[in-house]
Structure 1
Amino acid sequence: MDGFSQYANLSGNPLWDLSENDPRCINVSCLAYILGYLDDQDRYSNDNYPLYAYWTTYFYCATVALFAIVYVNRRLRDGGAGSRFKEQAKAYWRMWIYRRITGKLGEQMDMSLGQLTIFIIATIFILVLPFAQGYFLRAYFRFGSPPLSVRCAMLISGLLPICIALAGKVNIVSCLTGISYAKLNVWHRYIALMIYILTIIHLVPHVIAPIREGGDIEFKDLLQEGRRERSGIILEVSFTLMLATSFPYFRNRFYEAFKFLHVFFAVAFFAFLTWHVTGEYLTPDFLWASVAILIGNFIARAVYRNRTTTSFNEFVQGYPTSLEILPGKMTRIVVQCPNKLRWRPGQHCYISIPGISKLQSHPFTIVSLSTPYLSAGPNDLVILMRAYSGFTKAVADLAKTPALNITNQPPKPSMPNTPSHSYSSSFPGTPNQSYSPSFPGTPDTSLTIAPSFNLPVELTMATRAWIDGPYGDFHPALERQYHGITLVGGGSGITAGLPWLVYIASRMRTAAHGLKGLHGEKLCKTRTLHLIWSIRDLDWIRWADRELTEALRDVMIANTQPQRNADGEKGRAFKLQISLFVTKSPTKAEMKTAVIDLYLRAGVDIYNPHARVEIRTGRPNYAGLLPNMLDRKRNMILTCGPVSQKIDLANSVAQLQSMVIQDQAMEISLHSETFGW
Structure 2
Amino acid sequence: MGSLLATILVASHHAHAHAHGGMTMADIMAAQAGRDPWADQPRHAMALLYLLAAILATGTLCHLARAAEHRFGAVRRLLAPANGGLMVRWRAAARSLLMRRYYGATTTAWLVIGGVMLFVTVMSFSIQPYYREMIGMGSSPLALRSGWLAIALMPVVVLLGLKVTPLTLLTGLSYAELNVYHRWFSRIMLFLSTVHTIPFLVQNGNAGNLQTWFTANRSLLVYGIVAYVALFLICISSFLKLRNLAYEFFVVQHIVISILYIAFLWLHVHKLLVSDKYMYATVGIWGGGILMRSFMHIFPNVLGGERRLRRGVFNATITALPDMLQITVPVNDQIRWAAGQHVFLRWGGMARIMQNHPYTIANAKLMSDTPMTIMIRVMNGVTQALYDEVMQTSPSGMRVAGDAAPSLTKWVSVDGPYGAKIPTERYNELVLVAAGSGAASIVAPLQAWVAQHAAALATAARTPHEGLPLRVSVVWVARRPAHLATWYETPLREALASLKQLGVDATVRVYVTQPEMATAETPGKAQPSAKIGSTTLVAASSGPADALPESMTGMSVAHGRPDLAVLLPQIWSTSAGRVACVSCGPGPFMVAVEKAVVAQQRVMARGASRVVDLALFAESYGW
- Flag whether TM exceeds 0.5 (same fold): yes
* Structure 1 contact 339–371 (Cα < 8 Å) conserved: no
Distance in 2 separating the partners of 1:338 and 1:362:
22
- Cα displacement (A) at 1:219: 4.1
Alpha-carbon spacing, 1:526–1:303, altered in 2? closer, same or farther (3 Å): farther
Does the Cα contact within 8 Å between 1:488 and 1:639 map onto a contact in 2? yes
Partner of residue 614, structure 2: 668
TM-score, normalised relative to structure 2? 0.83
Choose between structure 1 and 2: higher helix proportion: 2
Structure 1 residue 600: Cα displacement: 4.5
Give the aligned partner of residue 154 of structure 1.
Answer: 148
The corresponding residue for 1:568 is: none
Which segment is superposed worse, 43-52 or 166-175?
43-52
Structure 1 equivalent of residue 475 of structure 2: 532
Deviations 1:191-212 (A, max 9, x none): 1111111111111112111121
1:675 to partner: Cα distance = 2.8
Closer, same or farther: CA 482–202 of 1 in aligned 2, 3 Å: same
Q: 1:348 to 1:594 in 2, by over 3 A?
A: farther
Within 1, Cα distance between the matches of 2:312 and 2:431? 40
The match for 2:433 is 488
SS in 1 for 2:616: strand
Look up the match of 2:4: none
Change (3 A) 1:516 1:353: farther
Matches within 5 A, 1:580-619: 580-585=510-515, 586-589=517-520, 592-593=538-539, 600-601=550-551, 613-619=555-561
Matched residues in 2 for 1:485 and 1:47: separation?
Answer: 58
Give, in whole Å, the separation in 2 of the partners of 1:161 and 1:613. 52
Instruction: Provide the secondary structure at the position in 1 that maps to 2:555.
Output: strand
Counterpart Cα distance in 2 of 1:656 and 1:54? 42
Tell me the secondary structure at the aligned position of residue 43 of structure 1.
coil
Which ranges of structure 2 fall in alignment gaps of 5 or more residues?
1-14, 302-309, 524-536
Q: CA deviation at 1:37?
A: 5.0
C-alpha deviation, 1:619, in angstroms: 1.8
- Is 1:273 aligned with 2:265? yes
Q: Please, which of 557, 561, 574 is the counterpart of residue 501 of structure 2?
A: 557
Match of 1:545 among 473, 489, 506: 489
Write out aligned runs for 1:4-19 (5 A). Answer: none
Q: CA deviation at 1:110?
A: 2.9
Please tell me whether the aligned partners of residues 136 and 148 of structure 1 are also in contact (alpha carbons under 8 angstroms): yes
CA distance 1:555–1:46, change in 2 (3 Å):
same
Matches within 5 A, 1:110-121: 110-121=104-115
Q: Which residue of 2 aligns with 1:414?
A: none
The answer on 1:251 being equivalent to 2:181 is no
Report whether the alignment pairs 1:62 with 2:51: no
Provide the residue aligned with 1:300 in structure 2: 292
Q: Does 1:183 align with 2:200?
A: no
Pair 1:613–1:521, CA change in 2 (3 A): closer
Is residue 415 of structure 2 the alignment partner of residue 468 of structure 1? yes
CA change 1:505–1:149 in 2 (3 A) is same
CA distance, structure 2, for counterparts of residue 182 and residue 382 of structure 1: 21
Structure 2 CA distance for aligned equivalents of residues 533 and 300 of structure 1 = 39
Q: Residue type matched to 1:464 in 2?
A: W
Encode CA deviations 1:452-484: one digit per residue, 9 max, x unaligned: xx95422221111111000111433x23x3222
Match of 1:44 in 2: 36
Q: Does 1:457 align with 2:388?
A: no
Q: Which amino acid aligns with 1:193?
A: R
Quickly say closer, same or farther: Cα 1:507–1:24, change in 2 above 3 A.
Answer: closer
Indicate how the Cα distance of structure 1 residues 71 and 88 shifts in structure 2: closer, same or farther if over 3 A, else same: same
Secondary structure at the residue paired with 2:371? Answer: strand
- Determine the C-alpha separation between the residues in 1 that align with 2:548 and 2:212: 79
Aligned to 1:623: 565
Contact 1:40 1:139 (C-alpha < 8 Å) held by counterparts: no
Aligned residue among 123, 128, 134 for 1:134: 128
Secondary structure of the 1:379 match is: coil
Gaps of at least 5 residues in structure 1 are 1-22, 101-105, 310-314, 411-453, 560-573, 607-611
Aligned in 2, Cα 1:97/1:291: closer, same or farther, shift over 3 Å? same
Percent identity between the aligned chains? 23
**Which position in structure 2 is the counterpart of 1:575?**
505
| C-alpha spacing 1:24/1:546, structure 2 compared with 1 (3 Å) | closer
* Match of residue 526 from structure 2: none
Report the CA distance between 1:215 and its aligned residue.
4.0
Does the aligned pair in 2 maintain the 1:349–1:364 contact within 8 Å? yes
Residues 487-526 of structure 1 aligned to structure 2 (within 5 Å):
487-516=432-461
How many positions carry a matched residue from both structures? 565
In structure 1, how many angstroms separate the alpha carbons of the residues matched to 2:540 and 2:361?
25
Asked whether the equivalents of residues 485 and 528 of structure 1 are also in contact (C-alpha less than 8 Å), the reply is: yes
Once residues 590 and 16 of structure 2 are traced to their aligned partners in structure 1, the CA distance between those partners, rounded to angstroms, is 65
Distance 1:525 1:361, change over 3 A: farther
- Could you say which residue in structure 2 is the equivalent of 1:95? 96
**1:384 matches 2:399:** no
Deviation string for 1:534-565 (max 9, x for gaps)? Answer: 12222211211111111121112213xxxxxx
